[in-house]
A and B are shown apart, each in its own frame.
Chain A
Amino acid sequence: MLNRAFTLFLFTLFSVPASAEKASTLTIYTHPSFAAEWGPGPAVKAAFEQSCDCQINYVVLDSGGDILQRLRLEGESTEADLVLGLDTGTMETTRQTGLLANHDTDLSALSLPIDWQDPVFVPYDWGYFAFVYDTEQLPEPPKSLEALISAPDDLKIIIQDPRTSTPGLGLLLWMRHVYGDQASEKWQQLKGKILTTTKSWSDGYFSLFMNGEAPMILSYSTSPAYHMAVDKTDRYQAAEFEEGHYLQVEVAALVKSSDQKELGQAFLDFMLSEDFQRHIPLKNVMYPATDLGDELPAVFDKLIQPSDALYFDPKTVTDNRRTWLNEWLDAMTR
């Protein structure tokens, strides 16, 4: 009753006529870096709508974490037919909600650093976490994670909070993968070099790193591609670490309660085609999930090529994240 009255009140405040919709609409929950006017979203939408009598409706949520949150809050009543923009850090938790359906996309075209055979999630891009540095401030960056950790404390770095940011969580897993149970001690050694821990990647990148506050920031190995291709500057580069780099894969999946499953499946197939993938490198600033051959922009050849792709099985991450987080908290506040 209260709900009713409340909605009614809102309706009378802002009564906006509902927009006319085509017969079949595919509702995709995604995040701004995909759906923004400069992201791959608009071009992908146009390309897909040409091949089907349908319409794509992006519901843009703040981040992959928010997509998971919204799904969890809405449950079976969700409007989403497909979710796009989850990653290896959030996909297992999303799987456990039981709200997603299996796909039957042919995954043989994938070209990822790891073997991928997931019944629910289809990757659409990937990248490595890496420390991006300012070559003008730091001509000689550390060559390994170990070198960074044992560097003197006047080398300052900016990281993100693993509780709120994807790269932040990535670094936590990276440290864990390299150092195992010694991760806590290593964090304590690293602590003196951390200038600040920001909520999200963009807070740190814009306000701090681009302001010259610290010469290194936790980011993606692909970040320099944007600076080189669009800003036309070689100033910002990623530091290659000997131990290898932690891998991030971004994925999409069908929603179980969707009444547009066929259309959704068609979209997942389309996702691994060149018409979709060619927009990924410069518009999403990540590696495409399939081999684009010559279509891969030249700047991507200049990026670091880590020797090892470090990767935890998503289930391991979900099972241990809380413990690892608490260890990290403990190390950082001691």
Chain B
Amino acid sequence: MSPVIQHQRRSLPAYPAPLSHSRWKLWPGLTIAAALIVLSLAGLGALVWEAELPGLSEFWSNRYLRTVVTFTIWQAFLSVVLSLLVAFPVARILARQPAFPGRAFLLRLMELSLVLPSIVLVSGIISVYGRQGWFTGLANEWLGTSWNLYGINGIVLAHVFFNAPLAARILLQAIESAPASQRRVAAQLGLGRWWYWRAVEWPAVKPVLPGLAALVFTLCFTSFAIVMTLGGGPAATTIEVAIYQSLRFEFDAGQAALLAMVQLVICGFFWWLAARHGLTASLLPDRRVASHRSKAGSSIWARLGDGTALAVFVLFLVTPLMAILLRGLPGMGSAFFPDGTFSVNPALLDATLRSLGIAIPAGLMSVIAALLILASGTSQSRPTITRLSDVAAYLPLMVPPLVLGTGLFLLFRPSLGNSSEGLALVTLINAMMALPFVLQMLRGPMGSLDSASRMQADQLGVLGWYRWRWLHWPRMRRPLALAMAYGTGLSLGDFGVIALFGSPGQPTLPVLLYQQLGSYRIDAAAATGLWLVLLLLMLFSLFNRLGSPLFNSGLAPKSSRTVPEPEHA
């Protein structure tokens, strides 16, 4: 052993990191949150300004409006419970069966369900569960039951289809980030399923549960298109639907604003409850050395049981998609091979490009905004303000887009001239609407830097940009790619915002779909719907590819084992 390490000592770190001042961490996120609050209040305020607010007593004495409020809460509650009941077992099975053929594809499908445009999905659900549906036929013949889709059945079914996969995805992420030490101990003890659940899975899932439940509740509470088609009639109406109805022909701005406030108060209450338990997924260290399979998932019978349960879930997810495929195929011919040779229908091509032109920037904006908000949340100096900014990010879910849209239109109309400004506004609002989901996807991974690593990074001066580049970015490639896919996908399938601010003369894909429907072009519409689904599937695959470690560059370690980043696929 010879002394080879010799050098002069230096007294202070000589390389300050760019953007390392704490203001860079706090203020951008807070500014975005403040902008969200201001925008929401401005939209609502403009409506209130436009019309007198009816009195609350008048509101409560209206039997119909009371029915609407109670029905909205009831169906949202049922949807949350059922979605979680489906999501828990699915997430657990997926966690204990980390390698089976088709697992990655199943995860893609689960991601897809949330972003499917509801009109397309509803047509798929009707093909399966409607009066002439495949499922209904089987149920009537074999079980002798008479299943009726229309009414609360259909609403809750469609909500479970939308939300259970999302919930399962988030729960899976939480279970997979359970501390290695716990899993190791559990594996050594050979815990049975119940004890494994108690010792490992439940503690991992518990912190994400309040936020997840609030998210699903809000989504179902504000549901619109599903309720309008499957609800059956005015007896099954949500607040969001009632707002649409009161603005449509009557332009009853007062009632709309009041309903919006009721919605805001109820959803805001749930978010406040969730935030009290902490929205932050957890600060569990993710120092996993290797994955330890629990004993619970390895026996033949266990695997058979898991396989059957998953097969049922897959069937639930895939059958409506198959129906969309079967309906769309006849029209694909004229969309892509109008004269026997391949050439895309120009209207479809334009709409596709326009949709992507809106969706990709919107996705990017939502991801950046989410990161900035999360960054301001990690600076621990002002907990009340950061919690406020956290909840503000969920405002776009609670404020009805129609109210926001009409209000902003009243405010900005004189200065909104041409349609390209309209499209920019569509992009901005789409980014806003996607923000809550993107935030939910990034929250866990962003908070997963454990305290020892944070201390080391602080001392080494790995701050600001450097910390992002070397400590967060390499571990967040996958979550970021997934978040980007969600942000883009949600905007791609959007019909609500574009219908308000866009110009139907320049349709996006969902608008084109509606226009074809409105003109008896059923085959063309079905083909557009199928094309939209395929486009979404391609988008998710592409972003997943981009997020995979294969694309890692720079100081990529050449290692036999994989990088222990939070797993997402």
Contacts and interface: CB of A to CB of B under 8 A. Distances in A.
Verify that A and B bind, or say they do not: yes
Interface stretch (A141-149, A211-219, A254-262): A211-219
Given A3-B412, A62-B504, A199-B228, A163 B249 contact: yes
Contacts of B248: 65, 163-164
Interface string A1-36: 001101100110110101000000000000111011
Interface in B503-540: 503-505, 507, 514-515, 517-522, 525-526
A131 interface: no
A72 B521 CA distance: 31
B291 interface: no
A83 to B, nearest CB: 15
Contact of B520 (A18, A77, A285): A285
A207 B406 CA distance: 28
Contact of A213 (B126, B249, B418): B126
Nearest to A93: B249
Contact of A197 (B233, B420, B520, B522): B233
A62 B228 CA distance: 17
* Interface SS majority for chain B: helix
Interface in A313-334: 321-322, 326, 328-330, 332-333
A197 B416 CA distance: 35
B514 to A, nearest CB: 6
Contacts of B499: 62
Contact of A211 (B127, B246, B251): B127
A212 B132 contact: yes
Contacts of B424: 10, 13-14
Interface string B425-455: 1011000000000000000000000000000
Interface in A58-109: 58-62, 65, 69, 72-74, 77, 89-90, 93
Interface stretch (A119-127, A223-231, A267-275, A301-309): A223-231
Interface in A195-211: 195-208, 210-211
B234 A333 contact: yes
B235 interface: yes
A163 B525 CA distance: 25
B520 A227 contact: yes
A37 interface: yes
Nearest to A328: B234
Given A10-B425, A31-B504, A65-B248, A207 B522 contact: no
A333 B505 contact: no
B512 to A, nearest CB: 9
A14 to B, nearest CB: 4
Interface in B88-135: 119, 122-123, 126-127, 130-132
Contacts of B521: 38
A330 B246 CA distance: 16
Interface string B37-69: 000000000000000000000000001100100
Contact of A206 (B409, B507, B522): B522
- For chain A, the bracket of interface size reads 35 or more
Contact of A205 (B127, B130, B235, B517): B517
Contacts of A321: 249
B150 interface: yes
- For chain B, the bracket of interface size reads 35 or more
Interface string B396-428: 000000000010011111111010110111011
Q: Which residue, B119, B123, B233, B425, has most C-beta atoms of chain A within 10 A? A: B233
B267 interface: no
B493 to A, nearest CB: 16
B224 to A, nearest CB: 9
B230 interface: yes
A156 interface: yes
Contacts of B130: 208, 211, 213
Q: Which residue, A35, A39, A89, A210, has most C-beta atoms of chain B within 10 A? A: A210
A230 B233 CA distance: 32
Nearest to A165: B248
A169 interface: yes
A231 to B, nearest CB: 8
Contact of A191 (B132, B233, B515, B526): B233
A54 B514 CA distance: 31
Contact of A14 (B413, B415, B421): B421
A198 B525 contact: no
B245 interface: yes
A164 B244 contact: yes
B421 A11 contact: yes
B518 A161 contact: no
B504 A197 contact: no
Interface of B: 63-64, 67, 119, 122-123, 126-127, 130-132, 150, 225, 228-235, 241, 244-251, 347, 406, 409-416, 418, 420-421, 423-425, 427-428, 499, 503-505, 507, 514-515, 517-522, 525-526
Given A197-B232, A211-B126, A332-B235, 19 more contacts: A4-B415, A6-B415, A10-B425, A13-B427, A14-B420, A14-B421, A32-B514, A32-B519, A33-B518, A38-B519, A38-B521, A73-B413, A194-B232, A195-B131, A195-B150, A198-B228, A199-B225, A207-B122, A285-B520
10 contacts: A7-B412, A14-B420, A38-B521, A59-B505, A73-B406, A73-B413, A90-B249, A208-B229, A211-B123, A211-B130
| Closest 4 A/B residue pairs (Cβ) | A202-B517, A60-B505, A60-B504, A199-B228
